[in-house]
Amino acid sequence: MKPMKNIVEVIIDIGSSALNQTFYYHVPESLQQEIEIGHAVLVPLRNRTQVGYVVGYVEQTTMNNMKDIKEILGERPWFDADMLDLARWMEQYYMCSLMDALNSILPTGIKNRVKKTELLPPKVQVRYEKWACLKITSDKMAELLPSLVHRAPKQATMLSILQHEKEMPVRLLLKQAATTHSTLTALNQKGCIEIKEKEFRRDPFTAIQVEPDSPMSPTVEQHLALEKIDKEWKQKQKHPLLLHGVTGSGKTEIYLQTINQVIKEGKQAIVLVPEISLTPQMVKRFKARFGNDVAVLHSGLSLGERYDEWRRIKENKVKIVVGARSAIFAPFKKLGLIIIDEEHENTYKQSCHPRYHAREVAIRRSMKEDALVILGSATPSLESYQKALKGEYLLVEMKKRIDGRALPPVKLVDLREEIKKGNKSILSYSLQQAINERLEKQEQIILFLNRRGFSTFVLCRECGLVLRCHHCDVSLTYHADHHKMHCHFCDHQESVPDRCPSCQSPYIKYFGIGTQKVEEVVKSTFPEARVLRMDMDTTSRKGDHERLLSAFEHHEADILIGTQMIAKGLDFGNVTLVGVISADTSLHLADFRAGERTFQLMTQVAGRAGRGTLGGEVIVQTYSPQHYSLIAAEHHNYQAFYEDEIKARQELDYPPFSHIIRLLITSIQEKQTIQGAETLGNHLQIFANERGCHVLGPVQAPISKIKNAYRWHIILKGENMMALQDTVHQALAAFKSAARTLHVDIHIDVDPLSML
Ligand code: ADP
Ligand code: ZN
Ligand code: ZN
């Protein structure tokens, strides 16, 4: 028997996460059949009308004068009980409101908003288009056509097209028949055709053409890995698998074959990839193997495409979704497998509220829905590798590249020596020579730079002043193309001053290098080379990634210069040289994960070289060639890196030996920010002591101001996550009234990856 649905529990969708509370409503009889968990509803609340979501049924209540649900909005429920359960877990673990958690799950753009009393429509809706459908029998057609050929040739053309197609979009029909609407109307009036509205699919794949392929016969290592996966797949309680395989060891082929197995058994698969720039090549490989069974979900799609893909998943029309972080919420009903490629990547952690990590959500979701999780990486996160060593995850290793191709030799070049040799270029002599050799052999080169314009600050050579943004307290970045400085936090722009604002010296200099600068130097050093640059500036429009990568793939350029976004996943057989302009930028970040990031980045970058039969070489330029992360990267030695790094973490009691919750306090007023941070800090201290947790700070955050808001933070550290969460709950409750009078905002980050 279906549960009674006369009373429902509703969470209200209002911006403020302060109202993390549900309300009960009576369901009018006319809606009782239809209403489901996940439906958007219109409800009265405190003399206003609000949009909310149904999160539960209630059989009985002692409450009287309960108000009525006004209306069900939208064509369907937007989440089911399993997803609601996941949201409730996020609420608890990441300490966000339930509505914040649900906002991550709801498809983008489907929301109705209430503005005063007027209900605004959602940003995205199902799109329809007109189809013409043939209504007459073939006998009738045979009778009619000859008479039309002379009297109304256009109608005849149109009919004979439809005779073939039976039905087709009006848009196409008019084009094929080379005629106008009047012809259509005439046929309609004669009763020959009928015009129907049909759903129109906004298809993100129209630009992607792929040849189908078939499974490759696995190598010995792949075979062993597949066996282990298969064994775990058959277990009742499945452990997540950590697939640690060097770049080019054939991990993707493992994913493809495992998915094949899973969908054969009627289940579905989610594949997460770290970044949108990765998706074109990855998506192609999945499309080649699984064709129309694949959907994609990422922010590079238009709202309409996204919504239509989401519905294809929801309506069981696809079996596999490939996507970025939020694809972990793909509404599959029979999820069997979740693959997280490059599991160590930071992009899996959402950097705004709620700050969830897709890997943790995946593991939680898999337990509930009995799915298998595969985490793949050439450089697993320290957290995951430690779990694998402890047996919490199953470790599967693939140490060889396909065909036994060697990993490319990595050479560290000491930049301090270059200055001594009198070389002032950003390209060391070794790198210049290596580039020359490749150009002569018509092989390709990738030059990698950490972060767009990261070090292109503007500095006074006399007093050392670095020009900073007034709103954000970060250094401004110089952009050569229009000779201006930009702030990469708030987008503030200003011209470069003629004289130092502090000491009036005229010796202002642009320091460090951005991708544009590298491009300039490369072009002047190798005037004959064809150069492509890939960074945020050159990839701001939809399709830019694909276009640039495809141009490089087809050897329309010799050298590709880029940021992080070219470090991962790319697979070009003709690339035989990868140069890292400076490894130092990531090494000197004020963050305990700096060493790990650098090792990962160098290994990933190195993996771009020698993917084909030609072999390859990597040259890393640095001012710190003695750093253990770089030495480990030089020798392709993950274990050596892991041992050094885990020791350092243990000494300082950093994750994975402890958990961290970061509390960021922000306000427009500096005094309030400090006062708020101190008050909250005191509360935390009291509750932390009782629970064996440590409070660090409050201190000014490394970026002390963003968009005019001052920023202070407090780090809470301890072995037991529940004790940490509990401490925060208690302290926040005690802090509530102070927060209101001080007008400060508190941002909570559980397991933070960035401390800036
Ligand atoms: P990874 O994901 O570990 O970097 P890939 O799956 O991309 O590695 O494999 C590297 C290359 O080897 C790809 O070009 C892929 O097509 C090829 N490859 C993978 N498995 C096999 C196999 N069993 N036989 C032949 N070629 C393979
Ligand atoms: Zn100065
Ligand atoms: Zn700024």
Q: How far is CA 497 from the centre of its chain?
A: 38
Q: Write down the CATH number for the domain with range 659-750.
A: 3.30.70.360
Which numbered atom of ligand 1 lies nearest the CA of 401?
10
Q: Name the pLDDT band for 455 (thresholds 50, 70, 90).
A: very low
CA of 484 to the centre of ligand 3 (A): 14
Which listed ligand is nearest to 489 at the C-alpha? 3
**Residue 430: pLDDT over 60:** yes
3-state secondary structure 484-503: EEECCCCCCEEECCCCCCCC
Could you give the CA distance from residue 11 to residue 105 in angstroms, rounded to a whole number?
14
CA 753 to centroid of ligand 3, rounded, Å: 22
User: CA dihedral defined by 747, 752, 754, 756, rounded to 10 degrees?
Assistant: 40
Domain span(s) for CATH 3.30.70.360 in the chain = 659-750
Cis peptide before 354 (omega within 30 of 0): yes
Q: How far apart are CA 615 and CA 606, in angstroms?
A: 12
In which band, very low, low, confident or very high, does the pLDDT at 371 lie, cut at 50, 70 and 90?
Answer: very high
576 φ, ψ to 5°?
A: -115, -5
Ligand 1 binding pocket includes 213 (Cβ within 6 Å)? no
Distance from C-alpha of 213 to C-alpha of 511, rounded to nearest angstrom: 49
pLDDT score at 201: 84
Q: Decide: helix, strand or coil at residue 398.
A: strand
* Ligand closest in space to the Cα of 509: 2
216-242 tens-digit pLDDT: 999 999 999 999 999 999 998 899 999
Q: Indicate if the pLDDT at residue 388 is higher than 70.
A: yes
- How much of the chain exceeds pLDDT 70, in percent? 92
Residue nearest to atom 15 of ligand 1 (CA): 250
pLDDT at position 452 over 60:
no
Give the other-Cβ count within 10 Å of 402's Cβ: 15
Instruction: State which ligand 1 atom lies nearest to the alpha carbon of 254.
Output: 6
Q: Region 437-447: what's the mean pLDDT? A: 94
| Structure confidence by residue, pLDDT tens digits, 237-276 | 899 999 999 988 999 999 999 999 999 999 999 999 987 6
Distance of alpha carbon 250 from the chain centroid = 23
Locate the ligand 1 atom nearest the alpha carbon of residue 341 and give its number.
2
Q: With cut-offs at 50, 70 and 90, classify the pLDDT of residue 624.
A: confident
Q: Among residues 88, 45, 64, which one has the least CA distance to residue 7? A: 64
Q: Quick check: CB of 616 below 6 Å from ligand 1?
A: no
* pLDDT at residue 175 greater than cutoff 80: yes
Please state, as a whole number, how many other Cβ atoms lie within 10 Å of the Cβ of residue 136: 18
Percent share of the chain, pLDDT over 90: 50
Q: Is the CB of 571 under 6 A from ligand 1?
A: yes
- Which residues on adjacent β-strands are paired with residue 271? 322, 339
Q: How confident is the model at residue 434 (pLDDT cuts 50, 70, 90)?
A: very high
- Ligand 1 midpoint to CA 536 (Å): 29
Nearest to 324 by CA among 76, 568, 77: 568
pLDDT over threshold 70, residue 432: yes
Tokens of 523: 């072009």
For ligand 1, atom 4: residue with the closest CA: 248
Spacing, Cα 203 to ligand 3 middle (Å): 38
Residue range(s) in the chain whose domain bears CATH number 3.40.50.300: 220-403, 410-453+517-649
Ligand 1 pocket check for 253: Cβ under 6 Å? yes
CA pair distance 123, 184, nearest whole angstrom: 32
Cα 449 to ligand 3 centre (Å):
23
Distance 677 CA to ligand 3 centre (A): 22
Task: Tell me the best of 252, 256, 259, 342 to mutate to test the pocket of ligand 1, counting ligand atoms within 8 Å of each CB and taking the most.
Answer: 252
Average of pLDDT values for 115-134?
83
CA 756–ligand 3 middle distance (angstroms)? 14
Whole-prediction pTM value? 0.85
Which protein residue's CA is at the shortest distance from atom 23 of ligand 1?
218
Is residue 507 within 8 Å of 533, Cβ to Cβ?
A: no
Ligand nearest to the CA of 499: 2
Pocket test for ligand 1, best of 253, 342, 398 (most atoms within 8 A of CB): 253
Cα of 463 to ligand 2 centre, how many Å?
4
pLDDT at residue 514 greater than cutoff 90: no
pLDDT digits (tens, 9 = 90+) for 286-327: 999 999 999 999 887 888 899 999 999 999 999 999 999 999
Q: In ligand 1, which atom is closest to the CA atom of 249?
A: 3
pLDDT recorded at residue 1: 47
Per-residue model confidence as pLDDT tens digits over 556-612: 999 999 887 776 656 787 889 999 988 876 655 556 787 898 899 888 888 777 666
Say yes or no: domain 410-453+517-649 is CATH 3.40.50.300.
yes
Architecture of domain 220-403: 3-Layer(aba) Sandwich (3.40)
Question: What pLDDT score was predicted for residue 567?
Answer: 67
CB-ligand 1 contact for 281 (6 Å cutoff): no
Nearest CA to ligand 1 atom 10: 248
Q: Is the CB of 402 under 6 A from ligand 1?
A: yes
Look at the chain and count its residues: 756
Q: Rounded distance, CA 85 to CA 102, Å? A: 10
Read off the pLDDT of each residue in 416-422 and give the average, rounded to a whole number.
Answer: 79
The closest ligand to the CA of 225 turns out to be: 1
Cβ neighbours of residue 578 closer than 8 Å, sequence gap 6 or more = 408, 445, 446, 447, 448, 605, 606, 608, 609, 616, 617, 618, 619
Angle between helices 358-369 and 81-93 (to 10 degrees): 140
Looking at every residue in the chain, the average pLDDT score rounds to 87
- Which CATH superfamily includes the segment(s) 7-120? PriA, 3(prime) DNA-binding domain (3.40.1440.60)
pLDDT score of 84: 96
Cα of 606 vs centre of ligand 1, distance in Å, is 16
**Ligand 2 geometric centre to CA of 507 (Å):** 8
The finding on whether 216 has its CB within 6 A of some atom of ligand 1 is yes
CA of 490 to the centre of ligand 3 (A): 4
Q: How far does the centroid of ligand 2 lie from the alpha carbon of residue 495, in Å?
A: 16
* Atom 18 of ligand 1, residue of closest alpha carbon: 250
Judge residue 403's burial from the number of C-beta atoms within 10 Å of its C-beta, 0-12 exposed, 13-18 middle, 19 or more buried. exposed
- Cα–Cα nearest to 401, from 567, 216, 612, 599: 612
Residue tagged 């700050």 (tokens): 355
CA dist., res. 154 & res. 738, Å (int): 77
Could you tell me the distance, in angstroms and rounded to a whole number, from the CA of residue 473 to the centre of ligand 3?
7
- Tens of pLDDT along 480-500? 777 788 776 666 889 989 898
Shortest CA distance to 620 belongs to which of 746, 464, 450, 748?
A: 450
- Give the separation between CA 233 and CA 336, rounded to whole angstroms: 9
Residue at token pair 């609000």: 50
Element of type H or E holding 200: strand 193-200
The yes-or-no verdict on residue 142 having pLDDT over 90 is no
Q: Can you give the pLDDT at residue 66?
A: 86
Element (H, E) at 483: none
> Which one of the ligands is nearest to 487 CA?
3
Residue 29 burial by Cβ neighbours in a 10 Å radius (0-12, 13-18, 19+) = exposed
Closest Cα to atom 9 of ligand 1? 250
* Tens digits of residue pLDDT in 46-95: 888 889 999 998 877 677 778 999 999 988 899 999 999 999 999 999 99
Backbone angles phi, psi at 66, to 5 degrees: -75, 145
**Cβ(222) to ligand 1 under 6 A?**
yes
